[in-house]
Amino acid sequence: MAKRHSAPGKTATSDVESSLPGDRENASSGATAASPREGAPAIKSPRRVLSGAPKPVKPRGRSRTPQPEPAFSASCLGNSRIGIIGAGAMGGALCRGLVDSRIVPANRVMVSDPHTQHVQDLARSHGIVVATDNCQLASTVDIIVLAVKPYNVDLVIEEIAPSLNHEGGIPLIICIAAGIATSRVEIKLASIPEAPAAPVIRAMPNTPAQVGKGACAYCKGTHTTPAHLAQAGDIFRSVGIAVEVPETMMDAVTALSGSGPAYIYLMIEALVDGGVRAGLPRDIAAKLASQTVLGAAQMVIDTGMHPAQLRDMVTTPAGTTIEAIASLEHSGLRAALIDAIGKAAARSKELG
């Protein structure tokens, strides 16, 4: 018989309390999931978990008046408690974005991950709450973000399914695993007798979310309401831009913006190598290439002009730019990028 492996996302903190203390009497007992609830209690940290941001340093100088803390931003999240399963690149970025943007207090963000150091680092730096395991997280929060690899989604759903029916109502599940359709999550839940019909949202953020410049698209599932979509939008806008699309477009989104940063990194690498070949030191070539890509993208965003118009503004007759563009077209750069996105979209469909 094959040895059973525990599902990913369990935090190795056996000496921490198995459940969070706190009175949940104010929580809704209905089946409405993840709607903002007045008076909902904050997530209370287990005893041995570091939480809370460092105390602000008083300004030096004549004035000793302490500076007021920035107010929390108005959002559709209200008093919702958010749980993130997986503290890797995307899960960690969402955690930091939620706290840094001040759309929710740190004590309403809970994280679970098998790599204890990842979540403890987030607790120290941002004051979030560390879950003892995935089930504790699922039984405590109003919104669950599945920030795990596609091949781990089924395992995690099986693990948390019995904990989804709790006093706070049925939580909203947001899955950011590439290629995983809302129907797949819903069918998996339906196959587990004790699992409720939870609302599901599929989302595809990208890695620039780690620096607050992410691009995310998301779509609704069968039981999703407009309130759930608004909550998802607020979560992803904490780390960049976010747009709602029909689920039929999600494979294309995955191929374009989800995988897109890798294409840009490859192009930056090639630009740097070209600069070195032309005589530039590598560090200077890297700075110039990176800033050129950043600036060009900002021009498209800020001006609203078609990229071809902006390209023509740089291209003078018989100049260096048109010579380079002719070479790129001859080498098939445009066709290669279009084909790459088609291949990535097809692979996304296969994963689902």
For the stretch 233-253, pLDDT in tens is 999 999 999 999 999 999 999
Instruction: Report the DSSP beta bridge partners of residue 82.
Output: 109, 143
Amino acid at 323: E
Average pLDDT estimate for 94-98: 94
pLDDT reported for residue 166: 78
Quote the tokens at residue 154.
């089924």
CB 40 within 8 Å of CB 171 = no
pTM exceeding the 0.75 threshold for the entire prediction: yes
CATH 1.10.3730.10 range(s) for the chain read: 258-351
3-state helix, strand, coil in the chain (%, to 5): 45, 10, 45
Fold of 258-351: ProC C-terminal domain-like fold (1.10.3730)
Least confident stretch, 49-63, 137-151, 285-299: 49-63
Residues of the chain with CATH 3.40.50.720: 82-251
Residue 259's identity, in one-letter code, is: S
Give me the mean pLDDT over the 83-111 stretch. Answer: 93
Q: What are phi and psi of 348, to 5 degrees?
A: -60, -40
Whole-number Å distance between alpha carbons of 9 and 12 = 9
Class of domain 82-251: alpha beta
